[in-house]
Amino acid sequence: MTKPVAPAILARWLAPFEPLFTRPAWQNLLVLLAGTTLAPGRRTVSSALSILDLREATGFTNFHRVLNRSRWPTRAGAKRLLHLLLGTFGADGPAVIGIDETIERRWGPKIRARGIYRDPVRSSRGHLVKASGLRWISVMLLAPIPWAGRVWASPFLTALAPSGRFARDRGRPHKRLTDWARQLLLLAARWLPGRRVVAVADSSYAAIELLAAVRRRPTAVTRLRLDARLFDPPPPRRPGTMGRPRVSGARQPTLAERLADPKTRWRRVAVAGWYGRSERQVDLISGTALWCHPGKRVPVRWLLVRDVAGAFEPQGFLCTDPDADPLDVRRWFVRRWSVEVTFAEVRRHLGVETQRQWSDLAIARTTPALLGLFSLVTLWAEDVLDGGVSPRPAAWYPEPRPSFSDALAAVRHRLWTSATFSSLPGHGEVAKIPRALLERLTQAACFPA
């Protein structure tokens, strides 16, 4: 039986990454990526080999070694993926990136980096749910996808952020989430010299230490507490004044006080793409200040937003660029919602949390690779249908815009049909399918995922 190989079009799509691998590892990687893209359900190495009819291949361990033993530079691959995404979807304007963490629910004594964390999906303000698993912090490009008609979050850089107990057990200093965020954001900005970079994050990253470290490169946008201590800049120092110079001026009213003040002059604006929907009318006010905490301070542009319809509570935001336009700040922040959508999509369609590697190196590579596959599928869909991905029609679900599942289906269709198909003479609607390919399709349809 002739062993199937990865489709030739996959090698063309992944050509920018080929120099990062040795030739044997590259050929095995192509097979793994083809199988992972085509396989439904669990994304284990065995499921990737099964969908390609490699269940009887004696060299199956070579495919495991791509993840747990082979040497390949992950950061160089992340940099190339970022530039591919920007070249396709973000050629104009600032590069808006989002950063957030997610929990991959995993159990087992061999998963040494596993910890107990608050489950952000199942928890609420009044109900705390903890989950056992791995904590990942991911940086994604937040760019509009023309054929999707909305902003998608495309992961390009993901790192494992273990718990404090894991670090203590191994005698290492613990790195907090803000420390990981500082390193990842500065690394992403370093990859884009001469390009304005805007980093969007939720309130978990609204820490003065982090904002002060990254505010010059990149610009940070995050939430701001309504009771945050805001001050005017220090007044000019008069000649002959004794003592240390002042570090801040008069204290400004808090955002909560401005919200309650009937004399506050609001500005009504329309924000397009409101959390993946149409535009929304909001009232906002904005200004500049020094956000101060004892011993720490950072200049910011603050923003206070309230909904005209009263559907959500008033919210405060900040931007570390005091000269930024307030409406741009709000538009950048609403893109952050697509990060949560991506985390849900990679679980639903790419099998995150179903992989079963036990090697530390394989664990550190597999989840970032699956998150990166989301971005690769988005790029491939752009090439497959030349920017024309259409949603799957259904009478009970009139969705006018394509989702990631539609993009994945288009890519899978291209990979399956890249095999040898030929039409019968005089029968344009009838195609001859090789028996081996038909058997693979039948096996994929019959056996449980």
- Choice between 432 and 353, residue whose per-residue pLDDT is larger: 353
pLDDT surpasses 60 at 273: yes
In the chain, pLDDT over 70 holds for what percent of residues?
92
Least confident of 189-193, 261-265, 306-310, 313-317: 306-310
What does the pLDDT read at residue 180? 94
What does the pLDDT read at residue 422? 44
- Is the link from the previous residue into 218 a cis peptide, with omega within 30 of 0? yes
What does the pLDDT read at residue 344? 93
pLDDT surpasses 80 at 446: no
d(CA 28, CA 1): 19
Q: Return the amino acid letter for 359.
A: S
d(CA 338, CA 352): 17
What does the pLDDT read at residue 227? 92
Structure tokens at 15: 């050509």
pLDDT surpasses 60 at 130: yes
pTM reported for the whole predicted model: 0.90
The mean pLDDT of 42-48, rounded to a whole number, is 90
Calculate the CA dihedral of residues 396, 377, 335, 118 and round it to 10 degrees: 90
pLDDT surpasses 90 at 93: no
Structure tokens at 25: 């590892």
1 pLDDT band, cuts 50/70/90, is very low
CA atoms within 13 A on the CB side of 429: 0
In the chain, pLDDT over 90 holds for what percent of residues?
50
- Choice between 239 and 344, residue whose per-residue pLDDT is larger: 344
d(CA 331, CA 273): 8
pLDDT surpasses 80 at 18: yes
What does the pLDDT read at residue 114? 85
Residue from 144, 95, 103, 39 nearest 416 by CA: 39
The mean pLDDT of 351-370, rounded to a whole number, is 90
Domain positions in the chain: 1-72+419-449, 74-201+336-391, 222-235+246-323
Q: Please answer whether residues 366 and 157 qualify as being in contact, where contact means their C-beta atoms are separated by less than 8 angstroms.
A: no
- Choice between 446 and 151, residue whose per-residue pLDDT is larger: 151
210-219: pLDDT as tens digits:
999 998 889 9
Average pLDDT of every residue of the chain: 86
386-433: pLDDT as tens digits:
656 677 777 777 767 788 998 999 899 888 887 654 444 555 566 667
What does the pLDDT read at residue 385? 73
pLDDT surpasses 80 at 440: no
Residue from 152, 160, 75, 159 nearest 115 by CA: 160
281-295: pLDDT as tens digits:
889 999 999 998 877
| Backbone CA torsion sign across 326, 327, 329, 330 | positive
Q: Please answer whether residues 342 and 326 qualify as being in contact, where contact means their C-beta atoms are separated by less than 8 angstroms.
A: no
248-269: pLDDT as tens digits:
888 999 999 999 999 999 999 8
pLDDT surpasses 70 at 61: yes
d(CA 271, CA 277): 10
